[in-house]
């Protein structure tokens, strides 16, 4: 069974635990079988409406090898297509969210091979997912790991998280949006300092700089991220996607263009049943029952 089919089947079976590791010893292979070696994907929340992706390559501190990126994208696309999922949480381990691109895989690459093979073509799928994605960052978020976190819509951090763009220390630069997203979020001086020295910042510094919205004790982080995702998933999914699109436009458009887009999306919400339901529920003093239409 291909990874996508296996994941879809399991997701439809309800509170699925997807630990799919065919290339690992049998003891580590989930009974349902399947194809994931580097991630765990499961549905969470009281209403089973949150997709949780956990990066699971502990021996390499979740270094982002091409296989992991492929599996991450498969899980994200499956959750994007699953109508019961309203938000996604992306996390790693308590020690490491992700330690960056797999440096061992970078060793033999050349300009020619990167360019011809379009090496980074699969690295920004996360930034095109329409459902909200919350990064729950414990431990290291370095290089491509920090870049992945910044592609998410909300970043929560554990108290001991560390963020950094240390590519300069191995003779390269961020390649998956680090110089752009970090600069937009934390400003030029701190972004330059991080990119040019490779120094890391703590969760507390990241929060102060606006990279992180909330900090939690290490062991509470994922639970808190899931609770936030459940809150988001309880709203209208279609209107939530419009809200996400409007906020993201602030990073890509001029103020005038962004405001025009916001107005169009605002008007568009009036074409949904959910907007009618939300407004009626308020007036009738009852809880809204959104149908995602």
Residues that bind ligand HXC (CB under 6 A): 60-61, 63, 99-104, 120, 123, 140, 142-144, 166-167, 170, 174-176
In angstroms, what is the minimal distance from the CB of 142 to ligand HXC? Answer: 4
In angstroms, what is the minimal distance from the CB of 189 to ligand HXC? Answer: 22
* Residue among 54 and 179 whose Cβ is closer to ligand HXC: 179
Tokens of 257: 């263009």
What whole-number distance in Å separates Cα of residue 221 and Cα of residue 123?
25
What whole-number distance in Å separates Cα of residue 11 and Cα of residue 3?
12
What whole-number distance in Å separates Cα of residue 51 and Cα of residue 181?
24
In angstroms, what is the minimal distance from the CB of 47 to ligand HXC? Answer: 35
In angstroms, what is the minimal distance from the CB of 70 to ligand HXC? Answer: 13
What are the beta bridge partners of residue 53? 41, 90
Total count of residues recorded for the chain: 293
* Residue among 146 and 226 whose Cβ is closer to ligand HXC: 146
Cβ-defined contacts of 152-156 (< 8 Å, 24+): 152/90, 152/126, 153/244, 153/247, 154/213, 154/228, 155/206, 155/211, 155/212, 155/213, 156/212, 156/213, 156/214, 156/215, 156/216, 156/221, 156/224, 156/225, 156/228
What whole-number distance in Å separates Cα of residue 185 and Cα of residue 192?
12
Active site residues: 101, 144, 147, 167
Give the CB-nearest residue to ligand HXC.
Answer: 143
* Residue among 86 and 143 whose Cβ is closer to ligand HXC: 143
* Residue among 120 and 185 whose Cβ is closer to ligand HXC: 120
What whole-number distance in Å separates Cα of residue 16 and Cα of residue 277?
31
In angstroms, what is the minimal distance from the CB of 143 to ligand HXC? Answer: 2
**Residues 83 and 49: beta-carbon distance below 8 Å:** no
* Residue among 51 and 166 whose Cβ is closer to ligand HXC: 166
What are the beta bridge partners of residue 162? 140, 202
* Residue among 100 and 132 whose Cβ is closer to ligand HXC: 100
What whole-number distance in Å separates Cα of residue 225 and Cα of residue 240?
17
**Residues 86 and 234: beta-carbon distance below 8 Å:** yes
In angstroms, what is the minimal distance from the CB of 290 to ligand HXC? Answer: 38
């Amino acid at each position: 069974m291909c990874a996508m089919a296996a994941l879809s089947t399991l997701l439809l079976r309800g509170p699925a635990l997807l630990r799919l590791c065919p290339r690992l010893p049998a003891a580590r292979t989930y009974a349902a079988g399947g194809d994931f070696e580097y991630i765990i994907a499961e549905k969470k929340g009281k209403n089973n409406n949150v997709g949780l992706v956990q990066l699971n390559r502990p021996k390499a501190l979740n270094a982002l090898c091409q296989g992991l990126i492929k599996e991450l994208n498969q899980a994200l696309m499956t959750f994007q297509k699953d109508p019961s999922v309203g938000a996604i949480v992306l996390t790693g381990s308590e020690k490491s969210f992700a330690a960056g691109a797999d440096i061992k895989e970078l060793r033999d690459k050349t300009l020619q091979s990167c360019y011809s093979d379009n090496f980074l073509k699969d690295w920004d799928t996360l930034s095109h997912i329409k459902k909200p994605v919350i990064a729950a960052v414990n431990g290291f978020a370095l290089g491509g790991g920090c870049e992945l976190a910044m592609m998410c819509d909300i970043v929560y951090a554990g108290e001991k998280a560390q963020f950094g763009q240390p590519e300069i220390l191995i003779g390269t630069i961020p390649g998956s949006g680090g110089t752009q997203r970090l600069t937009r979020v934390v400003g030029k001086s701190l972004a330059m300092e991080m990119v040019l020295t490779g120094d890391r910042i703590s969760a507390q510094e990241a929060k102060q700089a606006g990279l992180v919205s909330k900090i939690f004790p290490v062991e509470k982080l994922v639970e808190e991220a899931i609770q936030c995702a459940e809150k988001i998933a309880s709203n209208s999914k279609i209107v939530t996607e419009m809200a996400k699109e409007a906020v993201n436009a602030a990073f890509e458009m001029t103020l005038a263009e962004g405001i025009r887009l916001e107005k169009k999306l605002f008007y568009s919400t009036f074409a949904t049943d959910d907007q009618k339901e939300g407004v009626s529920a308020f007036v009738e003093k009852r809880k809204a029952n959104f149908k995602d239409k």
